[in-house]
Structure 1
């Protein structure tokens, strides 16, 4: 086809028209028809050459239809098949496709023929999956087709096509090798299969479950074609983004050894079936995410089955307790942030049941974990006692998480991909460390943790505290590796000037991300000019281009090349965060500009320039979610937003998040607070931070709670004295519950002084209670008694309140420690009754248990046992395992005192079982030692030794000095029972010199010596010798006893 041929045809047509009067209409029309058809065809071909596009082509057909036509009436079949294709065509159109043509029992559809979208390949595959479902549903519901095997087969390919209008009807179609290959794949597929090429696969990997097929011999192709089968869509998929420039995909350079390490860990997961943790540490831009993407690309088509959990943290989550851990379950169970709470509960319950098929208590564990990670499961029937006891909530939550992953791994191996954990909140990292270190040895679980060195600065012991962990450190690329990467990116430049290559290599300093952005900057500056097949270089333009010395500078230079609307859209998006939503962006867009088409054009342009990427599933339904390509790109963009505009935007986004999160607002509190703070609305920010701090405290996330309350305090104006006192008391509570009594006392005394000056009764009583509690734990019982008594008098009018019930218990407990048994009994009795009236189960059980102890001191063992039994019954009914375990231990000790050793060991074993269930290690150590001591008295010395050793090892691990001393004293009784009184006395002497030796240990020692009837001089001699023994050496000997 040439322009001269079209010109000749036009001249001939013109000549015929001029001679119409001479030749007549019939002759002219007859001659013109073929000439005009030829001209249309040639023009169409010309148009098509000018419309070369990247499109995704789908061919689908029903291979079983031909055999079926022989047995069915043709007219009936025609109507039924037409109805079927109407349904299947609707599916194609609903997924953004265009029906190209129907051919017999098949269809050809196009994505990208008119408007190219980045997710065209993904939408084509989603359409194919939906077509299979629609076909099966139609056949099963249509009598004529019932029982017939009319399964759909599909072939899909992506690549360059010629798009244009052909024929006399000028229909838009696509031609070319891409179309032919899609048709060949359709013919090669078997019924019910969806087959795709590599060119489609590389654009959708990570989004679907895919099976790698052996290379296929295709007609018309000299080389074998790599194909893949689509199985289904992955839950809450993450894109596996290939690093490259202008659509040129690059191979992994300089990270082959690291990739091999990950691949070997994957293979070991299935062969050795043991827990493994691999941490990959590298500075920003060194290729951590690319390495992870290559690993996923390698695993994606493999045949092994596994459960995948994936999470990526962000700077805004660092003070949100368990936010990172929550991301794992959002991903796995496809929970959207806009899902109502009832839907979240259902998804958690269903997910736990599926992954813990043998556990009848999976629903309870789902509720416990859900509450721990920030979903509001407060109405759950399993949680009343735990909500009042954050320590137990945390312990049981960690144990439930560990059992969940262990159970899931017994079904299929588990892979956790944890990205950017340097921004993860401390509570999530504590939970993950507990899970990793407490999984059974034969649990097939692989965790890959991606981090920057900042994690070591923030939590220096986190990585080193992990069992079975391997650490991979990414270094900058060498000069040779950088040159190889430049060559990869610029592979379409036929003769790459060495000067340009070295400019890029030297400027990037071994940082792959920096290197790519430099290349993109050179493309923006037209130094490098991409074309369809061959790229050119214009070095003359390099002189006018200033190469910034930093990555931030290069990114800034790229921002400067954006047009006005693109730049403004990106700036507004940066205010929302690295992840942002189109609906939120619309809130920031002034009404005159807020045309969806205008914003869509800007977002499409930013996607085309690889500055942002769409996420396949949005955390908020009904709106598209996007992410900046890199965190530093978001930060650089944010710095270009005028400060007065920032404040306005942050206020609007805070309000949008409040509305969009709905019932799930509690999960976004710290993010909402960040926006309010940056908007200058300090009061609203402080209020949100206080709510977030309370939430953190409720799950014992102490470091997050402290940071949240501290920020809330810093935002309060001095005149907001009530609020200041409240927050100071909350900070004190954080320190108190984490055992840091000196800091707790500092904040609570400040609050107490301010409350006295303000003379506000409720705040003053709360401050007195807090200071009194701390005095008690620090051993200053008289001061505690005085302050708690004063607070009690202040609250005399608050009969039935939770505050007064707790004050009564605090005072009674202090009096018990002071030996004031009668008044202690009176106050604990009042506390019990008032807590019951107020519905405070936690305080009720504390008071009831203390009344049991007091009954024993008052010489009423029957009442003591009755009260312990009541604690056990009520704690069990309330789901308070920790209180139930304490009651069992107390019942065991009471039976021990009355020499009912059989009953005693039964109680201790039940207490141990509960302690193991809820993960209370310190309590478990005590119960192990008590059981060991009981078995010594029963004469079962071998089993006694086993339990004493386990209890001693656990006490040492926890640093529980009083428990370690008790273990040594119990070992002394064991040695005496073995007939080795000399060794027994030496152990008592060793214990006596320990700094943690107390009156309780002294009483136990005196009881033993009275039982042994030894000579005083003999006792003194060997106890004195024992006092010279070295503690650690003796500990080692006992562990081998």
Structure 2
């Protein structure tokens, strides 16, 4: 494809060494039981045996095992996990064991699980200084991967939130966080591979449904690696996981799914007997009551027995428990598990109840100081309340906290938290959510970006739409910085829905639409990006924001280029330039001039294109705008390329790429590698083109730069065709066509032109003609003269191989006529060469010789030595 325009991205401490060298467990839960009695696990033996079988497969064969355990709340997932942990730790050579928990409060934080993993592997502590934490990372990484791998330590440190802007090891990546993220994930996988060379590792993730999307993708990616690491991934989740990830985990061969169903009657009776084993023979009325009400839910059985103990029906003793059967008829047994759990709150005094209400608003882990702040004027002894709630087994302290200097707690069960939250009056909820948002803003310190989505959610649930919208914008920006694009899009969309009807929020709304459009563009969602930037343009025009208006027009111009619409591209760029000059913004003027330059080149007005690119460079140099200087050089290269001066084009493009490398802008480096590959293709130097394009594709793929991959695949297909590597070319071309379709942009004519050439070499002439015709139709729709001329040549070459090649000469003639323009010498020479081959084979031989001589003259004129070598003299 022709060179493109670039889119602006606007556990407690273990002191033994750098990493854990022994089996360990993080946040492993143990059953609480009833009155000190922990019953044996009932009804989950088959599931436990499946887990152990997969573990033994890991020991024997290596590789990766992925197990998903699915069950609704109270079905015993945590108990099964705890029992598995106990059995694993009794093995003679126990594996490393790490356990993490998803949290709805942090599900909007990109790559949260990667951060937890790195923190656990290296015993990092957020209370330590930046320097100490980095030193621990450097020690651990270099011990595992070698002394030359210190850069990986800095990459991992960046991902976990260390301030490493001045790190010399990240100087080439500091403006490309997408690349840092990808490198960090790769480094984490390499570390796990090294750690599991001798001893396998088990990673258990509780509540996968509350894990951020980017981390879920990372889990799936780790499972797909297969033999590279010796790892068992166990995911505990509820069924609504499949609402967000309907295909989980179909992409992982051999993945095991274990569904936990309600206990049957026999199993329920057995569990009751296990818990009440000190009561001797149970009265049938009592056993029947518990079993009938529980519906096979193990947690309900345990909580109902807890209630019967509290109400004096069951009286525990040290050796013998007594049953007061006569009290049964007078009891009111709750019909739902939530109501049953709420009965545990009855002994609380008003202050304890209010404190627990406030704590439940946190929607997962909570911090006592936050709950006290939410209560406002209510005076309470926080330490005494915490002690009382722990004694009543309503809350559990956590070994680690996600916030510095804040002890963290959880409810003893998530269902208990929900039961508490559901009975809070609506007017109290509004106040609690707003105050929790305020507390987070004041106490998140350097981690504010990580909590922006959570703050937005609490403001929203507290009825403060304006603050909620603004914090969603911050959360979107944070997610975009981490290149979790789907998360960023979600935040921006939520912000728009909150701010759309607030007349005083116009500036925020305009900025939000523009940011959403840019992220959609980076995600190759072109149609959606057009809609967002048009909305930005309309709002900016309505409210008189000329800066935002000009930027939106320039973005629309760039997208029009992606959509193969050079006329609209020029119109948008001209409007953007007029506004930019009106407000006197040098940066916007430079970008608008550059885009307008390329639009004119696309339409064949190459003199005007060169003039505009040179003007852009002059203004950028006067303003000392480094990024603008580099971009202007790149657009000057495109202007010279369109004029046919490929050598000068190559010089400017390489100079631009040097500057982009110095700026650390790998997105632009990938862009210029694409353009260098395109120019090398135009020179007929397919080997050099392949080198440029493969590096560019690696950068784009590793960084997830989806739209750039499409351009690189287009040019890479042409290079492979030129090198006669047709099988590889066909695969890449079809992948590029698929990506265009998925991104809802017009398929590049180049793809079908090169596909036609592949089919010809394979003897599939009819398919070659069909592909060439599709390429011609697409080129005509785009309206670019060069693309149409080249497409006619491809159709002529395909028709020349037909049994009756009558129309081939007409196609070549039309191509030659369209390409008879300054700057198209190389393409006209190729057309004349293809036409000559047709005439020499099945037409007028004398005419063929003349055409071949003309082609050689054109190649000499353009100094195309590679093409001259391919065009033998007669």
Q: Which residue of 2 aligns with 1:690?
A: 473
Q: Does 1:473 align with 2:259?
A: yes
Larger strand percent: 1
Asked if the contact 1:388–1:842 (Cα under 8 Å) also holds between the matched residues in 2, the reply is: no
Q: Which residue of 2 aligns with 1:867?
A: 652
Given the alignment, which residue of 707, 726, 735 partners 2:490?
707
Distance 1:328 1:713, change over 3 A: same
Q: Does 1:253 align with 2:42?
A: yes
Structure exhibiting the larger radius of gyration computed from Cα positions: 1
Asked if the contact 2:598–2:638 (Cα under 8 Å) also holds between the matched residues in 1, the reply is: no
Please say which of residues 524-533 and 984-993 is displaced more in the overlay.
984-993
Asked if the contact 2:108–2:454 (Cα under 8 Å) also holds between the matched residues in 1, the reply is: no
Q: Which residue of 2 aligns with 1:182?
A: none
Asked if the contact 1:276–1:469 (Cα under 8 Å) also holds between the matched residues in 2, the reply is: yes
Distance 1:474 1:750, change over 3 A: same
Q: Does 1:951 align with 2:738?
A: no
CA distance in 2, matches of 1:488, 1:985: 77
CA distance in 2, matches of 1:316, 1:996: 53
CA distance in 2, matches of 1:736, 1:623: 40
User: How far does the alpha carbon of each residue in 1:147-194 deviate from its partner, in whole angstroms, 9 at most, with x for none?
Assistant: xxxxxxxxxxxxxxxxxxxxxxxxxxxxxxxxxxxxxxxxxxxxxxxx
User: How far does the alpha carbon of each residue in 1:969-1001 deviate from its partner, in whole angstroms, 9 at most, with x for none?
Assistant: 657656766xx6xx1533412423558964388
Given the alignment, which residue of 80, 93, 118 partners 1:329?
118
Q: Which residue of 2 aligns with 1:624?
A: 407
CA distance in 1, matches of 2:708, 2:568: 29
1:125-144 alignment to 2 at 5 Å?
Answer: none
Given the alignment, which residue of 817, 840, 850 partners 2:635?
850
User: How far does the alpha carbon of each residue in 1:472-530 deviate from its partner, in whole angstroms, 9 at most, with x for none?
Assistant: 21111111111111112222212222221121111111111222111112222121122
Distance 1:270 1:285, change over 3 A: same
Asked if the contact 2:772–2:798 (Cα under 8 Å) also holds between the matched residues in 1, the reply is: no
How far 1:668 moved relative to its partner? Answer: 1.2
Given the alignment, which residue of 551, 563, 569 partners 2:349?
563
User: How far does the alpha carbon of each residue in 1:939-995 deviate from its partner, in whole angstroms, 9 at most, with x for none?
Assistant: xx6xx3563365357547757699998677657656766xx6xx1533412423558
Q: Which residue of 1 aligns with 2:538?
A: 753
RMSD after superposition: 4.0
CA distance in 1, matches of 2:118, 2:198: 17
1:379-394 alignment to 2 at 5 Å?
Answer: 379-381=166-168
Q: Which residue of 1 aligns with 2:388?
A: 605
Secondary structure of the 1:719 match is helix
Asked if the contact 1:374–1:667 (Cα under 8 Å) also holds between the matched residues in 2, the reply is: no
Q: Which residue of 2 aligns with 1:419?
A: 206
CA distance in 1, matches of 2:161, 2:569: 35
User: How far does the alpha carbon of each residue in 1:792-814 deviate from its partner, in whole angstroms, 9 at most, with x for none?
Assistant: 22222665654444333333333
Q: Does 1:992 align with 2:778?
A: no
Q: Which residue of 1 aligns with 2:832?
A: none
Please say which of residues 569-578 and 581-590 is displaced more in the overlay.
581-590
Asked if the contact 2:88–2:95 (Cα under 8 Å) also holds between the matched residues in 1, the reply is: no
Q: Does 1:458 align with 2:244?
A: yes
1:805-954 alignment to 2 at 5 Å?
Answer: 805-831=590-616, 845-900=630-685, 902-908=687-693, 910-911=695-696, 914=699, 918=703, 934=719, 937=722, 944-945=725-726, 947-948=728-729, 951=732, 954=735
User: How far does the alpha carbon of each residue in 1:650-689 deviate from its partner, in whole angstroms, 9 at most, with x for none?
Assistant: 4443333233321122111122223333444443333222
How far 1:349 moved relative to its partner? Answer: 4.6
How far 1:827 moved relative to its partner? Answer: 3.8
Asked if the contact 1:321–1:426 (Cα under 8 Å) also holds between the matched residues in 2, the reply is: yes
CA distance in 1, matches of 2:389, 2:720: 73
Secondary structure of the 2:204 match is strand
Please say which of residues 650-659 and 284-293 is displaced more in the overlay.
650-659
Q: Which residue of 1 aligns with 2:524?
A: 739
Q: Which residue of 2 aligns with 1:270?
A: 59
CA distance in 2, matches of 1:929, 1:648: 56
Q: Which residue of 1 aligns with 2:573?
A: 788
Stretches of structure 1 lacking an aligned partner (at least 5 in a row): 1-121, 134-207, 210-230, 1024-1041
Given the alignment, which residue of 493, 508, 515 partners 2:301?
515
Q: Which residue of 2 aligns with 1:312?
A: 101
How far 1:456 moved relative to its partner? Answer: 1.0
CA distance in 1, matches of 2:787, 2:296: 63
Secondary structure of the 2:282 match is coil
Q: Does 1:484 align with 2:484?
A: no
CA distance in 2, matches of 1:817, 1:796: 24
User: How far does the alpha carbon of each residue in 1:65-123 deviate from its partner, in whole angstroms, 9 at most, with x for none?
Assistant: xxxxxxxxxxxxxxxxxxxxxxxxxxxxxxxxxxxxxxxxxxxxxxxxxxxxxxxxx99
Secondary structure of the 2:52 match is helix
How far 1:286 moved relative to its partner? Answer: 1.0
Q: Does 1:658 align with 2:441?
A: yes
Distance 1:820 1:467, change over 3 A: farther
Q: Which residue of 2 aligns with 1:227?
A: none
How far 1:392 moved relative to its partner? Answer: 5.4
Q: Does 1:551 align with 2:337?
A: yes
Q: Which residue of 2 aligns with 1:763?
A: 548
Structure ranking higher on relative contact order (CA contacts 8 Å, 6+ apart): 2
CA distance in 1, matches of 2:227, 2:23: 32
How far 1:353 moved relative to its partner? Answer: 3.9
1:390-401 alignment to 2 at 5 Å?
Answer: 399=186
How far 1:759 moved relative to its partner? Answer: 1.7
Secondary structure of the 1:870 match is helix
Please say which of residues 1013-1022 and 323-332 is displaced more in the overlay.
1013-1022
Q: Which residue of 2 aligns with 1:718?
A: 503
Q: Does 1:536 align with 2:316?
A: no
Asked if the contact 1:975–1:984 (Cα under 8 Å) also holds between the matched residues in 2, the reply is: yes
Please say which of residues 296-305 and 272-281 is displaced more in the overlay.
296-305
Asked if the contact 1:929–1:947 (Cα under 8 Å) also holds between the matched residues in 2, the reply is: no
Asked if the contact 2:733–2:755 (Cα under 8 Å) also holds between the matched residues in 1, the reply is: no
Secondary structure of the 2:634 match is helix
CA distance in 1, matches of 2:377, 2:504: 39
1:350-389 alignment to 2 at 5 Å?
Answer: 350-355=139-144, 357-358=145-146, 360-361=148-149, 363=151, 365-368=152-155, 377-381=164-168
Please say which of residues 480-489 and 343-352 is displaced more in the overlay.
343-352
Distance 1:393 1:232, change over 3 A: closer
Asked if the contact 2:68–2:256 (Cα under 8 Å) also holds between the matched residues in 1, the reply is: yes
Distance 1:710 1:518, change over 3 A: same
CA distance in 2, matches of 1:785, 1:409: 57
Distance 1:927 1:271, change over 3 A: farther
CA distance in 2, matches of 1:885, 1:429: 28
Secondary structure of the 1:415 match is strand
Secondary structure of the 1:472 match is strand
Q: Which residue of 2 aligns with 1:181?
A: none
How far 1:282 moved relative to its partner? Answer: 1.4
Distance 1:580 1:952, change over 3 A: same
Distance 1:689 1:580, change over 3 A: same
Secondary structure of the 1:484 match is helix
Secondary structure of the 1:580 match is coil
Asked if the contact 2:98–2:203 (Cα under 8 Å) also holds between the matched residues in 1, the reply is: yes
Distance 1:916 1:768, change over 3 A: closer
Distance 1:807 1:901, change over 3 A: closer
User: How far does the alpha carbon of each residue in 1:550-581 deviate from its partner, in whole angstroms, 9 at most, with x for none?
Assistant: 11111112212333343233223213342122
User: How far does the alpha carbon of each residue in 1:1007-1027 deviate from its partner, in whole angstroms, 9 at most, with x for none?
Assistant: 56878995775447999xxxx
CA distance in 1, matches of 2:201, 2:620: 45
Secondary structure of the 2:444 match is helix
Secondary structure of the 1:244 match is coil
Asked if the contact 1:654–1:675 (Cα under 8 Å) also holds between the matched residues in 2, the reply is: yes
Please say which of residues 779-788 and 963-972 is displaced more in the overlay.
963-972
